[in-house]
Amino acid sequence: MRKKSTNRLEILACGETYHIYNKAVGGELLFKTNFDYAFFLKRMNKYILPVAKIYAYCLIPNHFHLLLKIKEPLEIPKFQKISEDDYSDYLIHVFGNFFNSYSKSFNKIHSRSGRLFIQSFKRILVEDEDYFILLVNYIHRNPIHHGLVRELADWKYSSYKSIISKKPTNLDREEVISFFDSVRDFIIFHEENKQKPGAEGFYLE
């Protein structure tokens, strides 16, 4: 990995790692009930797992963060039917379908209409190993930063507990742990590094 990009509307390229995030329009919420959180994750597994490896995520009431790596072309069956020039458009379309599917369900359940997300989803290309580690820590500490819980493991809607667990998961747990050397080091890093310099720029207020 190399230095990160600051372009927040990156194209999506195969083999690259991205920090993807968005928030609700106005003062509204993206998640109101346990079902909303669960449905978002279910939709994520349906739409995103076929095209990307998921490293980390966190969902809180008014926004979300994902850290993932787009798969190589040969790992994405539908790429065999489109030209290389269309890969990014196809991937952005997949993410659009994911968010639209969630929005339609949320609007129906909560008797609302109109746009749910504030804008097209943001994506930052992650090319630096230190930045990757910072993001994993930042994403998992997001609920603490926003005063929702006091301990990392107390928030149910992040990848933290799945990464330190031995239970089956759709996350690319082994690769995440490889950046920290061991599960123990992963836990210690999260406990000791409450916030590394530069993380404050990525909180969504």
Q: What is the CATH number of the domain that holds 177?
A: 3.30.70.1290
Spell out the per-residue pLDDT of the chain, length 205, in tens.
Answer: 444 444 456 789 999 999 999 999 998 999 999 999 999 999 999 999 999 999 999 999 999 999 999 999 999 988 988 999 999 999 999 999 999 999 999 999 999 999 999 888 999 999 999 999 999 999 999 999 899 999 999 999 999 999 999 999 999 999 999 999 899 999 999 988 765 555 555 544 4
Instruction: Give me the domain span that covers residue 162.
Output: 17-199
* Residue 80 resides in a domain: yes
Place of tokens 């930063």: 145
Strands laid side by side in the 52-60 sheet: 52-60, 63-70, 17-23, 122-126
* Residue 136 resides in a domain: yes
* Residue 121 resides in a domain: yes
Query: Are the CB atoms for 140 and 190 separated by under 8 Å?
Result: yes
* Residue 130 resides in a domain: yes
* Residue 53 resides in a domain: yes
Domain count for the chain, please give it.
1
